[in-house]
Structure 1
Amino acid sequence: MSAHTVGREAESARVAELAARAAAGNGASLLVEGEPGIGKTTLLDTVAAECARLGMRVVRGAAEDLEQRLPFAAIGTCLGLRSGTKQDATTARVAGLLRGEDALGQSVAAVNHEFAATEAILDLMDQWCAAGPVALIVDDAQWADPSSVLVLHRLGQGIGQQPLLMVIAVRSAPRDEPVAGLIRGLQARGSEVLRLEPLPDAAVAALVREILAAPPGEALAGLVARAGGNPMYVTELVDALNRAAAITVDGGVADVAGREPQALPASLVESVLRRLDFLPRNARDTLEMAAVLGPTVDVTELSRVLDSPLGAVSEALVQAMEAGLLIDNGRQFVFRHDLIREALAEHLPAAVRTALRLRAGEVLAAAGAPVERVAEHLLAGTAVDPGTVDWLLSQSDALIVRAPRLAVPLLRRALAAVDSGAPAADALRLHLVRALLWDGDPVEAERAARAAMLTNGDPALHWLLLQACYRQGRLDEAVTVAEEALRLPDLAPGQAGRFHGFAATCLFYLERFDAGELAARLAVEEGEADRNTQAIGLGYLGLSALRFADGDMAGAYAHNERALAAFGRGIQPDLQADPYAMRGYCLLELDRFAEADEALATAVRHNQATGGVYLALTHALRARLRFLDGRWDDALAEIETGLDGPDPLGQAVGLRALAALIAIRRGAYHQDLHALPEPGEGVGGRKYGYLTRWAQALLEESRSRPERALELLYPVWERAWGLDQRRIIYRVCADLARLATVVGDHKRAADLADTSEALAAGQPTRSLEATALLCRGLADDDPDRLLSAAGAFHQAGWPLHEGQGYESAATVLARAGRETEAREALGKALDRYAGLEAGWDADRAEARLRQAGIRRGRHGPRKRPKHGWAALTGTENRVALMVAEGRSNPDIAAQMFLSRRTVQTHVSSILAKLSLSSRVELAISMSRREA
């Protein structure tokens, strides 16, 4: 046994158990906590060795305190994405995302880019896990940057499904909130915690025996007891005694010879610093200065920073390594423990440390080092010299993307250092506004932009100000900024077209449709005059939205296709609408479901790559499509995925309401009416408020209050206009017409028939025609119209509404005494409801027909069981088969036109239904079933 693992036998055994479980497919996470020197890193060494022995891919790294403001620094180090070594295509793509390559052209803000990078890292981990078991080991996580913390959190969410062991070591001292939140989250999901306590006396004695090859005597045991059971401190004390020639071995026992040595180190830090006494002065100075610059030491860089010969610096570092202060990891030197580095750095005066950091920044900038490393060092100073200003002007784009929280303060310092009227000041102000927007601070970006515009009328500043106002939800002011920009002299037609186009979509959201129409047409006109494809695309995108608001879905689709053609591959991330999602939305409204499904799959991929601004919207549309075509379990998976991601446009209102609608129809909603939150006045609430009212109305009806249900739902139809106009919400009509009939409100039933027929006449689709037939059939008590409505809904691919058509026909046929036809129609309705597991709809239909003296003449189809293979939906069966084939979630997602998150949701559902806990168990179960 290694001296370093003495006294940690129980912990080592538990780690081995978890590693074996992960290697067998049952993933787990483990938190290792303890004070500095207590043995966390040593235990991680044991983890890494055991996982390697089991044939697992081991990826390991440590967070650094100097990199806490650098996104993905910790996880990038662990996964080898920052090393510069040769990588395969997938890994290289992820590494490029972390470097921020083309980020400003792909995302609107850091949060969106980081979402895309997070998804890419999770995809990579999924692929690695599909190829074989993986161990992810993170040391010093108390210094992990927030982006890395988020990745670790997300990995922990589905870890039980994967052959993944995630081990995170963290100091037991107080922690920043992101790390504290990570620990709480992992523990809530069952993560084990190993708190490394001080070694007991027997283990300390065993440790001394391992070091000295002899047990300690009474005096020596008393001295090492001062270490308080800290194994690193024990080792340093014994080493200090050895260096002082104070230990002798007599009769097989090691003990202190003669009197107790004077001035033994009183702490672990002091014991470490004692090692410096054995180094030459030059080596000691070199090491202290290296400590200021970070935990890793690049010999060539350090030589340049210190302006010392490479040979002399190398010799000093080798001497430090021989003294046990540095470790050679094959590429560079690393401090043996960060406690050592901290203690060494503190030996230098603060002014010297600052000067060294500034010097390092200048040297690294000249050498073309990564911008974030340069900025970290430059920020250590308080002043900015002309060289730093020049560097900032040339490297701002890269720095803003890679580390906006370094860029903002550095740009502010640079602005304070230059003449306010100098051209450099104008450029710095522009970069500052962009940095603030990228960092997700539109309020401060607006303030900075307005200040810059006092002396500079650059259209680029107006464009950024417009973005800042828009991102605060102040669309009126965004339109005002666009109008001010359009009055600028010498504004190129293409630039004017972009401002018109942006304003057009803002005006659409403000429901100022006439002004939006004019702005959109001007955008196309100005864009075509200047051959500016962005302006043309924005104009057509605005026209598409406006035709959509008119209910002209064919026109909206045609304009959107023109927008996509104009944008080509140049779809900018600052669009206020996603043309890919809009294509899917239009096709959905035109009953072209197969094409809509394909278009929305493209929209998912696009939003994952650009950071998910419209990702929740895309999942909401996919959920709605699956609700209409009867794939309700798949709809719920899309809802769960949409709620789990970023939602800047308030899609949660519609997602939760749709989930409630499904639960109510399945008889599985057991909460109070007030559990459904009010939609609110935001864009999401205004657009999807009808779904909330629909769910509330059905809940009232399910509790035998049809009058109240009608009073809740009918005003939604009566007052529909703008973003929730009737062309969008006509799905409620089948329920609304039934309610009006049940409560005897013939006027409303007739009005509903009239308005739905007018809607269908304006732009006929099969579902609109079916809706009009159903409403008229109920208003006129016409069973033949109702049967025709059911047939039309079948052609449109709306099984729920088809069932409602048959249910209503059965009711009217029964009243007319046509019992055989009524029973047949009832049977068809119940078949459709059974396929959806719409238990409440089925119960309601049977109850209505019983009142008319009609009972089901035969048993309906057997309900799908809740557990076992027979419980799986068609989609879940396909996912299960591909999981059993060893396919990763990203591979399955690509094959099935889903998102990786949605696949993960399906896998969780499959495992729950089969009472399994991992993908490996699923593969075994599948093979046994096939056998």
Structure 2
Amino acid sequence: MRPVSPVFVGRQGETDRLRALARQAVAGHGVAVLVEGEPGIGKTSLLDRVAADCAGLGMRLLTGAAEDLEQQLPFSAIANCLGIGAATTDPELARVSGLLRGEQAFTQSLAAANHDFVITEAILDLFDEWFAQGPVALLLDDAQWADPQSLVVTHRLGRGIDQQPMLLVVATRSAPRAEAVDALERSLVARGGHVVELAPLPPSEVSTLAHDLLHADAGPRLRRLLATAGGNPMYVTELLAELSDEGALAERNGRVELVWNTDELAEGWVPPPLAEVILHRLACLPPGVRDVLQTAAVFGRTVDLTELSQVQGRPVAELAAVAASAVEAGVLTDTGTRLEFRQPLIREALAARVPPSARAALHRRAAQSLDAGGTGVERVAEHVMAGEDVDERTTQWLIGVADTLTARAPELAVELLQRALPTATRRQAGRLRLQLIRALLWRGEPAEAERLARDAVATGDDPACDGELRWLLAQTSYRRGHLRESLDVIQQALARPGLSEPERGRFHGFAAVCLFFLTRFDEARTAARQAVLAGEATGDARCRGIGDFALAMTMAMDGDLAQALAVNDRAIATLTEGVQPDLQVDPHTLRGMCLLELDRPAEAERALAAAIAGNRESGGAYLPMAHTLRARLLFLTGRWDDALVEIEAGADLPDLLGSAVRLRGMADLIAVHRGATVDPPTGPGASYPHHFSRWARALCVESQQGPAAAFELLCPAWEKAHGLEPRRLVYRVCADLARLAVATGDRDRARVLAREVDELVTPQAQPSLTATAQLCHGLADDDPDLLLAAAADYRAAGWPLYEGNAFENAAEVLARRDRPAQARQALDQALERYGALEATADADRAEARLRAVGVRRGVRGPRKRPKHGWEALTATEQRVAALVAAGMSNPEVAAQMFLSRRTVQSHVSSILGKLELNSRVELAVRAAERTAVRAGG
């Protein structure tokens, strides 16, 4: 008999379907596919066929598999697909590779979630750059073992896949598998993804498979036996190989038939389970080959000959010969870049033959050998974890690598540190406890970190670690939102002797931040100045920078925006190397806020672009806040479609500072101005989470119940403004509040409001604040000149909605004073501003108010922007479309326009929707055609 080798048979329908989807992806309309089935049903073989088709189509091919032993190693599955390993030298992968190694992670990120966000964004940037170069195929096998971070990346790739030239294929066992894999399937299918379920092969294809393996048809007895394999191609293949090895097959009359007699094969005999068939077959391998393969199987699906050489103390050349025999026997396969077990079931069967105690010993030996050989800490940690025991040598190794391991694999770090603590010496325990607290903070478990830190401070077992422990304890309380407890810890630390001056300055700076968010601004100012003084006395830039930042925040709350900007710029200049994550501050976001409040929108936009870029690079907690401020800027300056895109980009981020309620409120506000309705909060004790939400609802109530009800609903937004949302930041509601007060006939309340706004106005006040004071007085005193002056100042500030409001109010007053021509002119000005914003609710209200006093618009209003076609694109979208059509990737467009990649992606989605296109490729073609027509015309 000839030796049996694996072949691919059947699955023509599935192959054709995937081939068509690959061609669709090459044309620019990407798609995701989930391939599901039982072990051995042919998922891997189908992916191999798909890979060959994609390579033939000229796609960039990225293939890999998840490993069950790497489920605690973040991004391991996607790294396998990208080809990122310890020896990665590809410059395209350098940034992602460095991030995966955890380089400087603790100096750049606040926690594992932030670092994961940075890595995810970097990987998506990489894919965006590849998409601009050509079609991409990503094929991930054995996703049932994928780590959560890789599944998140896959989910994110699937979100915008229809715009990109990408085929994403994820193969997974039907069961058992984690809920995260089911969630991935739901998300991909919800966005148009396909599910391909591999059913058992029908009898005809089983016969074809047997013929291809045996090079002859199977006889009747053999066909009956193969039918017991349930149409599982791997089972058929292994069963035939087993029968061939046992000499149970013979060629008779041009067919291959069973030759066992009836004693050997009774009628109705059922073959053993697939795993037993595999084990029995592998037992026939030469002992030397089998022993090496069993060790390799314990270590994972990929066979690393260098690693095996280090562990077994055998030359790589000798092991290469063993691997060649295993490839010839069909146990291993050579992918061209790595050796791996041909089927997970083969590896599982081999590993199962190694007793648990022997497996643990192998892992312990591997950990020691690989550490001595300079292997990455996460790989060594995997072996340490599987080896179960943590001895003195392992504890010393763990103390030395804990920070690196925490950044790279926090789950492993926490479990190993917890395992090492009970048997550590007293001196070791102090250091291990510190590292465990940091690891728990990094993993996002501040409550457990705080409990451990409080216990350690209370016992005082290691005085040398006391200052560091108290710093971490203050951090844990702060991250849980327990600012008062954090402040207590800081004050206790400052009262103890032994702190160095830089440490004292750092604690004062941290205290200033806590005091600021507790709205104890005077105390925050004092603490900030102490931090600045400590920094100046010691030359510690970090103390000086955090002190200046906290000082600038208090100045901004006091309304001294120009001075706040100057002091904050000093902090930016001082903190040239950025801010450590254990003092999460962002002077760039504060700079953008100050410039926004000073009516310097162009500078504010640049500052916020820098803040977004910096936070995105580091996973900073202020990223949603920077998006929120930018959305507010776009709202005020009348770029509402762009504001909605910014809101969408910001709402999809980790939200540590409560920005989501501001973003939702702003989206509601735009919707209401454009004629939509927002519902009030519901449930027991329901309240408005932010004054934006209250404001939007009040405008709805005005049209439904009248101005009196709207005024009463909106009034608390102003009357209760305090703390971090003071009147100097909330005064924008006063334009509507004053109008509603007058509409109810209560000019006295309008006058009180005007005087309260006056209290905010200084000689250096920005045009928008001056305009708001003029508008309130103009409404209270029925003075059209003040209202027209307000319109002029709003124009200087660049606030078109408010300019329209001022013209609307002036038009009504002019009409009542029997100046119809001027009233009509003012109405036209208001409607022009509203029309440009598509603020239909405002336009309808203005026309109704003026009709009531006998005035109608003098000229036809501006033509509304169409919903579809090139004319439907905003100015920003037109620029994005031009750059995308020129072949730029999303990251390149983002850099060119000072936007985030997420914002660009949202713009591209909007552009494709308005142009009724399906992909960026179609956009490039349509843009080229349009340019040619224009040139010819």
In structure 2, the partner of 1:670 is 677
Distance of aligned partners of 1:67 and 1:52 in 2 relative to their CA distance in 1, 3 Å threshold: same
Measure the CA separation in 2 of the matches of 1:719 and 1:348: 70
In structure 2, the partner of 1:141 is 143
Q: CA deviation at 1:311?
A: 5.6
In structure 1, the partner of 2:447 is 443
Measure the CA separation in 2 of the matches of 1:677 and 1:661: 24
What pairs up with 1:407-422 in 2 under 5 angstroms? 407-420=413-426, 422=427
Check the 8 A contact 2:735/2:772 in 1, yes or no. Answer: yes
* CA distances 1:125-177 after superposition (whole Å, capped 9, x unpaired): 00001100000000000011011010001001000000010000000112212
Query: Gapped runs of 5+ residues in structure 1?
Result: none
Q: CA deviation at 1:377?
A: 0.8
Q: CA deviation at 1:675?
A: 7.1
Q: CA deviation at 1:312?
A: 5.1
Q: Which among 611, 615, 620 is matched to residue 628 of structure 2?
A: 620
Q: CA deviation at 1:331?
A: 5.2
Distance of aligned partners of 1:265 and 1:372 in 2 relative to their CA distance in 1, 3 Å threshold: farther
What pairs up with 1:475-486 in 2 under 5 angstroms? 475-486=483-494
Check the 8 A contact 1:116/1:612 in 2, yes or no. Answer: no
Q: CA deviation at 1:310?
A: 5.0
* 1:137 aligned partner, one-letter code: L
Q: Secondary structure at the match of 2:35?
A: strand
In structure 2, the partner of 1:25 is 28
- Higher deviation after alignment, 746-755 or 282-291: 282-291
Measure the CA separation in 2 of the matches of 1:65 and 1:480: 45
* CA distances 1:695-733 after superposition (whole Å, capped 9, x unpaired): 121111122421111001122212322211111011111
Q: Which among 160, 166, 172 is matched to residue 170 of structure 1?
A: 172
What pairs up with 1:348-363 in 2 under 5 angstroms? 348-363=354-369
Measure the CA separation in 2 of the matches of 1:925 and 1:890: 22
Q: Do structure 1's residue 609 and structure 2's residue 628 form an aligned pair?
A: no
Measure the CA separation in 2 of the matches of 1:790 and 1:330: 70
* 2:680 aligned partner, one-letter code: L
In structure 2, the partner of 1:560 is 568
In structure 2, the partner of 1:255 is 257
Distance of aligned partners of 1:300 and 1:929 in 2 relative to their CA distance in 1, 3 Å threshold: closer
Measure the CA separation in 2 of the matches of 1:340 and 1:211: 19
In structure 1, the partner of 2:908 is 907
* 2:414 aligned partner, one-letter code: V
In structure 1, the partner of 2:130 is 128
* CA distances 1:336-366 after superposition (whole Å, capped 9, x unpaired): 1111111111112111111111111111111
Q: CA deviation at 1:308?
A: 4.5
Q: CA deviation at 1:679?
A: 8.8
Distance of aligned partners of 1:674 and 1:491 in 2 relative to their CA distance in 1, 3 Å threshold: closer
Check the 8 A contact 2:228/2:270 in 1, yes or no. Answer: no
In structure 1, the partner of 2:307 is 301
Q: Do structure 1's residue 742 and structure 2's residue 743 form an aligned pair?
A: yes
Q: CA deviation at 1:8?
A: 0.3
- Higher deviation after alignment, 834-843 or 357-366: 357-366
In structure 2, the partner of 1:240 is 242
What pairs up with 1:528-607 in 2 under 5 angstroms? 528-607=536-615
- Higher deviation after alignment, 762-771 or 302-311: 302-311
In structure 2, the partner of 1:117 is 119
In structure 1, the partner of 2:8 is 5
* CA distances 1:102-131 after superposition (whole Å, capped 9, x unpaired): 111000111101100100000000000110
In structure 2, the partner of 1:693 is 694
Measure the CA separation in 2 of the matches of 1:496 and 1:567: 18
Measure the CA separation in 2 of the matches of 1:367 and 1:293: 17
Measure the CA separation in 1 of the matches of 2:232 and 2:418: 45
* 1:460 aligned partner, one-letter code: E
* 1:901 aligned partner, one-letter code: R
Check the 8 A contact 2:33/2:196 in 1, yes or no. Answer: yes
Distance of aligned partners of 1:222 and 1:884 in 2 relative to their CA distance in 1, 3 Å threshold: same
Measure the CA separation in 2 of the matches of 1:417 and 1:845: 77
Query: Normalising to structure 1: TM-score of the pair?
Result: 0.96
Distance of aligned partners of 1:310 and 1:791 in 2 relative to their CA distance in 1, 3 Å threshold: closer
Measure the CA separation in 2 of the matches of 1:252 and 1:829: 93
What pairs up with 1:640-659 in 2 under 5 angstroms? 640-659=648-667
Q: Which among 59, 64, 74 is matched to residue 62 of structure 2?
A: 59
* CA distances 1:523-559 after superposition (whole Å, capped 9, x unpaired): 1111211111111111111111111221221122122
* CA distances 1:622-677 after superposition (whole Å, capped 9, x unpaired): 0000000000000000001111111111111111111011000010x234333799
- Higher deviation after alignment, 672-681 or 450-459: 672-681
Q: Do structure 1's residue 783 and structure 2's residue 792 form an aligned pair?
A: no
In structure 2, the partner of 1:866 is 867
Check the 8 A contact 1:220/1:256 in 2, yes or no. Answer: yes
Q: Secondary structure at the match of 1:379?
A: helix
Q: Secondary structure at the match of 2:582?
A: coil
Distance of aligned partners of 1:39 and 1:206 in 2 relative to their CA distance in 1, 3 Å threshold: same
* 2:712 aligned partner, one-letter code: E
* 2:508 aligned partner, one-letter code: H
Distance of aligned partners of 1:188 and 1:137 in 2 relative to their CA distance in 1, 3 Å threshold: same
- Higher deviation after alignment, 245-254 or 646-655: 245-254
Q: Secondary structure at the match of 2:638?
A: coil
Measure the CA separation in 1 of the matches of 2:600 and 2:405: 45
Q: Which among 470, 474, 494 is matched to residue 466 of structure 1?
A: 474
Measure the CA separation in 2 of the matches of 1:870 and 1:333: 55
Measure the CA separation in 2 of the matches of 1:404 and 1:7: 44
Q: Secondary structure at the match of 1:167?
A: strand
Q: Give the paired residue count.
A: 920
- Higher deviation after alignment, 205-214 or 646-655: 205-214
Distance of aligned partners of 1:654 and 1:437 in 2 relative to their CA distance in 1, 3 Å threshold: same
Measure the CA separation in 1 of the matches of 2:657 and 2:642: 23
Measure the CA separation in 2 of the matches of 1:187 and 1:66: 28
Measure the CA separation in 2 of the matches of 1:325 and 1:884: 48
Q: CA deviation at 1:297?
A: 2.1
Q: Do structure 1's residue 43 and structure 2's residue 46 form an aligned pair?
A: yes
Measure the CA separation in 1 of the matches of 2:682 and 2:61: 46
Measure the CA separation in 2 of the matches of 1:333 and 1:883: 40
- Higher deviation after alignment, 918-927 or 208-217: 208-217
**Kindly, what percent of the aligned residue pairs are identical?**
55
Measure the CA separation in 2 of the matches of 1:910 and 1:623: 19
Check the 8 A contact 1:3/1:207 in 2, yes or no. Answer: no
- Higher deviation after alignment, 915-924 or 378-387: 378-387
Q: CA deviation at 1:576?
A: 4.0
Q: CA deviation at 1:573?
A: 2.1
What pairs up with 1:157-556 in 2 under 5 angstroms? 157-257=159-259, 259=261, 262=265, 265-308=271-314, 313-330=319-336, 332-420=338-426, 422=427, 424-453=428-457, 454=459, 455-457=461-463, 458-556=466-564
Q: CA deviation at 1:680?
A: 6.4
- Higher deviation after alignment, 605-614 or 833-842: 605-614
Check the 8 A contact 1:657/1:676 in 2, yes or no. Answer: no
Measure the CA separation in 1 of the matches of 2:754 and 2:648: 36
In structure 2, the partner of 1:703 is 704
Q: CA deviation at 1:314?
A: 4.2
Q: CA deviation at 1:456?
A: 2.9
Q: Do structure 1's residue 824 and structure 2's residue 828 form an aligned pair?
A: no
- Higher deviation after alignment, 385-394 or 538-547: 385-394
* CA distances 1:404-457 after superposition (whole Å, capped 9, x unpaired): 11111211222222222x2x2222111111111111111111122122222234
Check the 8 A contact 1:142/1:176 in 2, yes or no. Answer: yes
Measure the CA separation in 2 of the matches of 1:861 and 1:896: 29
Check the 8 A contact 1:697/1:710 in 2, yes or no. Answer: yes
Measure the CA separation in 1 of the matches of 2:683 and 2:750: 27
Measure the CA separation in 2 of the matches of 1:189 and 1:651: 27
In structure 1, the partner of 2:935 is none
